[in-house]
């Protein structure tokens, strides 16, 4: 079945440093979504990417969808302590498969 | 607009018992999905209901079942509880099928099986 992987599993950065998490799917995705879950909280939607090669920005966050629609990345510029949490990518194949979440990347930001 | 409401927030059950969890989606949302979240396994998809019909199902045993009512509220039932069922159970609602638009998650129900 469809598998979604993320790397790294954990990332510790100093405040002000950049951070990137990568998401890879075993199958081509119709679209990909990113969520953030703060410690003790629930996942909160960040963005959806649909088009091949699409790049979207939200302030310090840049999201990219690969040309083959099998991978994606989230880059945070100049991290802040408010960026702490686990970032999940999630996607669905082109044939109505289940919506699958990646295992997440847990980000720690040291002040 | 009220968010997704899950009840109860916390639950302690004994092995062998059964449990029912409830999820009230955002008004107007027709899709409700359920996920099991554990530290080791991440977010695992259980099933999705749309307009009272189960549209997709994850790889969980038949002990896990669900349903959706005409008002879109959904319930999830786990029978013959096992210790490994201890987890945070999250439901998410969407206006359309999951994956087509953003999903809004509830706070979750923390189930502990002893």
pLDDT of residue A4: 93
- Contacts A44 to B, Cβ<8 Å: 105
CB B82, CB B15: distance < 8 Å: yes
Please check the confidence at residue B110 and state whether its pLDDT lies above 90: yes
How many CB pairs below 8 A link A and B? 54
C-alpha distances out from residue A5 to A21, A90, A101, A105, Å: 11, 10, 8, 10
Burial of B105 (0-12, 13-18, 19+ CB in 10 A): buried
Q: What is the pLDDT of residues B57-104, one digit of tens each?
A: 999 999 999 999 999 999 999 999 999 999 999 999 999 887 788 999
Over residues A41-49, the mean pLDDT reads: 96
Please check the confidence at residue A97 and state whether its pLDDT lies above 80: no
Q: How confident is the model at residue A92 (pLDDT cuts 50, 70, 90)?
A: confident
- Helix, strand or coil for residue A41? coil
Does B91 touch chain A if contact means CB atoms closer than 8 Å?
no
DSSP secondary structure letter of residue B101: B
Interchain pair A33, B102: CB under 8 A: yes
CB A90, CB A100: distance < 8 Å: yes
User: How far apart (Å, rounded) are the C-alpha atoms in residues A32 and A65?
Assistant: 8
pLDDT, chain A, mean: 94
pLDDT of residue A33: 95
Interchain pair B105, A103: CB under 8 A: no
| Entry field: residues in chain A | 111
pLDDT of residue A94: 78
Over residues A60-72, the mean pLDDT reads: 97
CB A4, CB A25: distance < 8 Å: yes
| Neighbouring C-beta atoms of residue A95, cutoff 10 Å | 9
Of B2, B39, B47, give the one whose Cα is nearest residue B21. Answer: B47
Q: Write the Ramachandran bin of A78: left for phi over 0, alpha for psi from -120 to 50, otherwise beta.
A: left
- Contacts A91 to B, Cβ<8 Å: 99
Percent of chain A's residues with pLDDT above 90: 87
CB A9, CB B39: distance < 8 Å: no
Over residues A14-31, the mean pLDDT reads: 96
Over residues A19-42, the mean pLDDT reads: 95
A98 φ/ψ angles, rounded to the nearest 5 degrees: -60, 150
Q: What is the pLDDT of residues B12-56, one digit of tens each?
A: 999 999 999 999 999 999 999 999 999 877 899 999 999 999 998
Chain B interface disruption, residue of A30, A99, A104, most B CBs within 10 A:
A99
User: How far apart (Å, rounded) are the C-alpha atoms in residues A83 and B79?
Assistant: 39
pLDDT of residue B42: 84
pLDDT of residue B98: 76
DSSP secondary structure letter of residue B83: G
Alpha helix positions (H), chain A: none
Q: How confident is the model at residue A1 (pLDDT cuts 50, 70, 90)?
A: confident
């Amino acid at each position: 079945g469809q598998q979604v992987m993320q790397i790294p599993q954990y990332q510790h950065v100093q405040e002000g440093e950049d951070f990137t998490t990568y998401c890879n799917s075993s199958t081509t995705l119709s679209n990909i979504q990113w969520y953030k879950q703060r410690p003790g909280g629930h996942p909160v939607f960040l963005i959806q990417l649909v088009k091949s090669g699409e790049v979207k920005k939200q302030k310090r966050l840049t999201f990219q969808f690969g040309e083959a629609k099998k991978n994606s990345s989230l880059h945070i510029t100049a991290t802040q302590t408010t960026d702490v949490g686990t970032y999940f990518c999630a996607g669905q194949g082109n044939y109505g498969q289940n919506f699958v979440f990646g295992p997440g990347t847990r980000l720690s930001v040291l002040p | 607009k009220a968010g997704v409401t899950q009840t109860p927030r916390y639950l302690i059950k004994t092995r062998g018992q059964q449990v029912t969890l409830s999820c009230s989606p955002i008004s107007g949302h027709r899709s409700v999905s359920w996920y099991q979240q554990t530290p080791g396994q991440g977010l695992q998809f259980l099933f999705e209901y749309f307009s009272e019909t189960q549209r997709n199902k994850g790889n969980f045993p038949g002990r896990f079942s669900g349903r959706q009512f005409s008002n879109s509220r959904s319930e999830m039932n786990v029978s013959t509880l096992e210790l490994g069922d201890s987890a945070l159970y999250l439901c998410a609602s969407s206006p359309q099928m999951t994956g087509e638009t953003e999903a809004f998650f509830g706070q979750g129900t923390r189930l502990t099986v002893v």
